[in-house]
Amino acid sequence: MDDPFDIDGNFSETGRNVLDTEQFFSTLGRAEDGDANAQYRMGVWHLDGSNSLVCEDKEKAVSWLCKAAEQEHEKAKKVLEQMPPETACNEEAPKYLRCFVCLAGAEWYSCYNECDKTAEMRRREAEQRHIKGEQILQEAEQGDALAQLKAGYAYDDGIYLPKDDAKAAEWFRKSAEQGNVDAQCRLGFSYQNGRGVPKDDTKAAEWYRKAAEQGSVYAQVRLGRSFHEGKGVAQDYAKAAEWYQKALEHGDAEAEYYLGKLRKEGKIPRRRFT
């Protein structure tokens, strides 16, 4: 996917509205594992907020960008340096760490969240978010799988509904049980990371398998890693390679990396060229 920032780190309008579910979950997983490039992308997406999967959330954006900047990610540093001067809570800190200082002091809202807005405008926005959250819940309670998935995201993001990981997982489950592949991926992620449910690698693998069998590339890679590492399933390098290969058929770079790693480590036969 094209980077939403150009080579100099400036935001490009053409980077909007290109995020899909597979990219989001794959990037989120890598970001939480400490990958600086993925952390940078998560920050960029939260700054944009135009996609239905990622709501605009400056706190999350700044947090992810600072994580990347702390690993010397140059683009993340530049984005942070270009932010309004109001973010500089500590003049002694390096520019790209000033936002991090704000977050650590729980002062991010007053120093960053569009200080030019009046209190009345912010009140109206909060009211609109509340109304939107109620609409999302009403639609989900009617039993539609897609609406249930949106309710899960709303509780997960904490934008339209109060952040509640347990309720998010509950709605993801309702949607997943109806066969929604995105919800199955998200529920697998929840079990894998203990978010809103007890951490359970076995259940994570079960939900990843359901999504993988429906063709989710993200789930195919996650299930491949489960077999690769023996988490939630018996370790089986051949099955890991099988799922990586399925994802690779769709051009997934992560699957290609782990498939190559299996071959390099001698876990599966190397390819033969004729």
Of residues 257 and 95, the one with the higher pLDDT is 257
Q: What pLDDT was estimated at residue 274?
A: 38
Q: What pLDDT was estimated at residue 82?
A: 75
Residue 151 structure tokens: 């309710």
Q: What pLDDT was estimated at residue 114?
A: 42
Residue 174 structure tokens: 């309702």
Helix (H) or strand (E) holding 51: none
Among 43-47, 62-66, 89-93, 169-173, name the most confident range.
Answer: 169-173
What dihedral do alpha carbons 119, 122, 126, 127 form, nearest 10°?
70
Model's pTM, two decimal places?
A: 0.61
What distances in angstroms separate CA 39 from CA 64, 67, 172, 183, one per listed residue? Answer: 5, 7, 24, 23
- Candidates 1.20.58.220, 3.90.1150.10, 1.25.40.10, 3.40.50.410; CATH matching 200-274: 1.25.40.10
For residue 21, pLDDT over 70 is answered with no
If pLDDT is split at 50, 70 and 90, which confidence band does 246 have? Answer: very high
Cα separation, 174 vs 171, whole angstroms: 5
CA end-to-end distance (rounded Å), the chain: 33
pLDDT over 90 for what percent of the chain?
A: 48
Instruction: Write the CATH number of the domain with boundaries 119-196.
Output: 1.25.40
Same fold yes or no, 119-196 and 200-274: yes
**Stretch 149-165: mean pLDDT:** 92
Mean pLDDT of the chain: 79
Q: Give the residue extent of every domain in the chain.
A: 13-112, 119-196, 200-274
Per residue in 166-183, pLDDT tens?
Answer: 999 999 999 999 999 999
If pLDDT is split at 50, 70 and 90, which confidence band does 20 have? Answer: low
If pLDDT is split at 50, 70 and 90, which confidence band does 50 have? Answer: low
Handedness of CA 71, 74, 77, 83 (dihedral sign): negative
Residue 132: phi, psi to the nearest 5?
A: -60, -40
pLDDT over 70 for what percent of the chain?
A: 73
Q: What pLDDT was estimated at residue 242?
A: 96
Residue by residue, DSSP assigns 13-43 as GGGTT---HHHHHHHHHHHHTT-HHHHHHHH
Q: What pLDDT was estimated at residue 150?
A: 94
Residue 108 structure tokens: 């991010």
Q: What pLDDT was estimated at residue 55?
A: 67
**How many CB atoms are located within 10 Å of the residue 201 CB?**
16
For residue 212, pLDDT over 80 is answered with yes
Residue 269: phi, psi to the nearest 5?
A: -65, 145
Q: What pLDDT was estimated at residue 176?
A: 97
Determine contact, residues 203/195, Cβ cutoff 8 Å: no
If pLDDT is split at 50, 70 and 90, which confidence band does 107 have? Answer: very low
Per residue in 34-43, pLDDT tens?
Answer: 899 988 988 8
Q: What pLDDT was estimated at residue 108?
A: 36
If pLDDT is split at 50, 70 and 90, which confidence band does 9 have? Answer: very low
If pLDDT is split at 50, 70 and 90, which confidence band does 5 have? Answer: very low
